[in-house]
Structure 1
Amino acid sequence: MLAALLRSHDGVITLAQARSAGLSHGAVQRRVRSGHWVRYARGVYFVDDRPFTDAARIRAAVWSYGPRAAGSGLTAAWWHGLTRFAPDEVEMTIPRDSNGRRRDGCRPRRRDLAKADLTEIRGMWVTNLALTVVEASARRGGGARLLDWALQNGVDLSALWAAHLRHTGRYGSPRSRLLLQAADSGARSAAERLLHTLLRGARLRGWQANYRVGGYRVDVAFPDARVAIEVDGFAFHSGAEEFQIDRVRQNDIVVQKWQVLRFTWLDLTEYPERVIAVIRAAISA
């Protein structure tokens, strides 16, 4: 039973788990003294016969704040499999009445979560999928990319709004609200407004919004350079029919000897310098 527990828990075990597996407190201490078990924090140990992986590091950090701690933010996103790389700093949510202090590599956030906001994955509590997407999207390293991916893969936008509204006072709440609003029905118009802001900030001149090119209106045009810019909202809004219509439209504009640049919400929010550099290169060519 003990070996199976250690395998499923990445080599990390708590004192309470060891006791439930039949070990006495003295037996645990003998393992620590022999060097077979390494004490990570009070009541949390790692069996030093295997690599200390990212999963082990995160599990030990969360468990070190007690049985009611839950991974949250980018930590929960990685645990859910939403992100590729584990965060360097482990974020966890702990109840308001907890006594745990912040330690190196850990960022505890005090907040009482309802059971509906939690899920257990591989024996560790983390925030549920909806709340995880909402919170991790507001963190550096998450952003619009994570939100868009989740929406494309079946996460319901109304569930994300519900999770956000249950926790409006949390860290990152204002940014989450803006992202959700952009992902809603106004995604395209929000992206257009953001592009206008970037163009003004870069002091680019000679552009016009909603400019007519042949039988179409393009989002932004530089008429002198014959450069048309089209912006998209979140990818989850785009179906096969919309994709086909956009390509026919773009081909017709190109035939009229215009260069067409396309940018997404992700481009505008995550890579604004690159967007401006591409536009500068196009209008000066």
Structure 2
Amino acid sequence: MVAVRRAIVPLLLAGALLLTGCEDEAPAAPAPAPVTTRTVTPAPTTVTSAPPPPPSPSSVTAPPPVAAGKVVVLDPGHNGGNGSHPAEINRQVPAGRGQTKPCNTTGTATNAGYPEHAFTWDVSQRVGQALAAKGIRVVYTRQNDTGVGPCVDQRAAIGNTANADAVVSIHADGSTAAGANGFHVAYSSPPLNAAQGAPSTRLAQTLRDTMRTGGFSTSNYIGGNGLSARADLGGLNLSTRPTVLVECGNMRNAAEAARMTSAEGRQQFASAITAAIEAYLAS
């Protein structure tokens, strides 16, 4: 038994040595190197302010148009409901110069039935939108094409109350005379106040000239040279502002009726009237 114990002891010692050699031991970390601290003083820096960049085009405020802030009253002739209210539109109202006239009328139409009130409403809307885009305040004598009136004396009062820089009444004629065609511009004559004098005459001439430039022919059956002096139109007589009435053409003339009926043609009328108003306000 003693011999066996003696043999086992060396074996146990050898196994212990072998187990000790199999363990993973992390290598000893090297001692950290000494840290040397150094204070660095930055060199002084000179900052030069760059000049401000030039303003971009979008930030530059353009001067307002010459006509900005002006007031224009547009008077589209007649109204879509006039025909169904004869008693209302036939009642007599003041028309200036001691006269009375019917409140309003139904207007005329092309031979195919396109009504004047629809033409004048469409053209006035096109003119008004173009003027408003230039900063001009636009006032309409009627707000739709389905109502009745207003009467001619009320229409004049709207322009007066608005203190309008220009009032333009937009119409179309309905002459059945053979070959009758062309536009004309009416103004109050003899004038009843200062605004009906030189300012209204100048507005009429400017509108006449601009429509000519726009490709429209002057009337061959009313007035002379595209102008018509009138003493019988209530909207002109009662106005205290520069006021004209333009008959854009003859709706009974086939060629002019075709132009008025088309959207392209109405835009041509509107462009000429707009240009005339702008030219008048800028002069």
Q: TM-score range by the shorter chain?
A: under 0.3
Q: Normalising by structure 2, what TM-score?
A: 0.27
Q: Normalising by structure 1, what TM-score?
A: 0.26
Q: Which has the higher contact order (CA 8 A, sep 6+)?
A: 2
> Between Structure 1 and Structure 2, whose CA radius of gyration is higher?
2
Question: Normalized per residue, which structure has more helix?
Answer: 1
